Amino acid sequence: MPLIIITGLPSSGKSTRAQQLHAYLAERIAAVTPPNSPPKYRLHLISDQTQGISRAVYDLSPEHLPAHVRSANASEKDARAALYGAVKRVLSPRDIVVLDGMNYIKGWRYQLFCEAKNMSTPSAVLQIGCSVDRAREVNEARLARRAAAAPTLSPTETSRPTENSPSSTGTEETNPPPTQDPITTDNNNPPPPDDNDDEPYSPSNWTNLVFRYEEPNPMTRWDSPLFTLIWDDSPAQTRSTFAALWDVIAGAAAKPIRPNQ
Ligand code: ADP
């Protein structure tokens, strides 16, 4: 079953929508599973948080780059490799994968699209639409909360990790590593809220990510079908978008994909 790639600006509400989508899909899977049978599909939610990836890996600011770090985006490449591995491990005809993240590089979305195609399973993109100003407010509120919780740590000290300490953001003491399997969540146990979801981006990291964001283009194969949810979409509108998504990936409109298509 398919891969759903979530995309959107930093702090635009992606994880919130990903969790709503996860709950919706679990409901639909339960509805198509005969009584006393195992779930027809397995459901997975994969994100930076489930993989223990800090927001700081996206920080290319020279002032946050320790001298000995290999290159400006080495840690981001490592993070993408971890996410790719996690998707690849579970993607199969019986698995629906929701990949929650910025997924802001079109070449990366293309790579994911090819991976789904190799598995003969469909992919779709769900864009979380949010104004830049609103997304910035969310990040600033997170920075303020983080500063209030740890008065000795200034927001700009949420620096990128060093090579010896890949997630050294100053947050480990308050966010211990997850004790359960970090890769997947199953249908009956939606992901628990995680304090790490609240991790802010440093202001320069956030601004650079907005600048680097590559909007999905529904005219390309890898960004289609493209679904969009905006911040103010009501629960009814959200469910209707999720229903259209389900139809394309698992319902009446789902088409078998051949690798050479
Ligand atoms: P991201 O995953 O993009 O960093 P989150 O989903 O964690 O963003 O959301 C950031 C904050 O905005 C959270 O406090 C969340 O509760 C709130 N939020 C997200 N989407 C909405 C929405 N559509 N309406 C109201 N609040 C939202």
pLDDT score at 192: 46
The count of structural domains within the chain is 1
Q: Would 260 be classed as within a structural domain?
A: no
Q: Would 258 be classed as within a structural domain?
A: no
pLDDT score at 203: 93
Q: Which of 16, 198, 199 to mutate to test the pocket of ligand 1 (most atoms within 8 A of CB)?
A: 16
Which residue, judged by its Cα, is nearest atom 17 of ligand 1? Answer: 13
pLDDT score at 74: 74
Q: Which of 17-26, 168-177, 242-251 has the lowest mean pLDDT?
A: 168-177
Q: What's the alpha-carbon Rg for the chain, to the nearest Å?
A: 18
Averaged pLDDT of the chain: 81
pLDDT score at 107: 96
| Local confidence band at 250 (pLDDT 50, 70, 90 cut-offs) | confident
Q: Would 259 be classed as within a structural domain?
A: no
- Its domain, for residue 126, covers 3-249
Dihedral through CA 24, CA 100, CA 17, CA 194, nearest 10? Answer: 100
pLDDT score at 57: 87
pLDDT score at 169: 35
Q: Which of 57-66, 119-128, 151-160, 225-234 has the lowest mean pLDDT?
A: 151-160
pLDDT score at 64: 62
pLDDT score at 68: 56
Q: Would 255 be classed as within a structural domain?
A: no
Ligand 1: nearest atom to the Cα of 233: 23
Q: Which of 14, 138, 143, 201 to mutate to test the pocket of ligand 1 (most atoms within 8 A of CB)?
A: 138
What is the tens place of the pLDDT at every residue in 186-196? 444 544 444 45
CA distance 4 to 13: 16
What is the tens place of the pLDDT at every residue in 70-116? 555 678 888 999 999 999 999 887 899 999 999 999 999 999 999 99
16-19: long-range pairs with CB below 8 Å, 24+: 17/126, 17/128, 17/229, 17/238, 18/45, 18/47, 18/98, 18/100, 19/45, 19/190, 19/191
User: For residue 52, what is the domain's CATH number?
Assistant: 3.40.50.300
pLDDT score at 186: 46
Which residue, judged by its Cα, is nearest atom 19 of ligand 1? Answer: 13
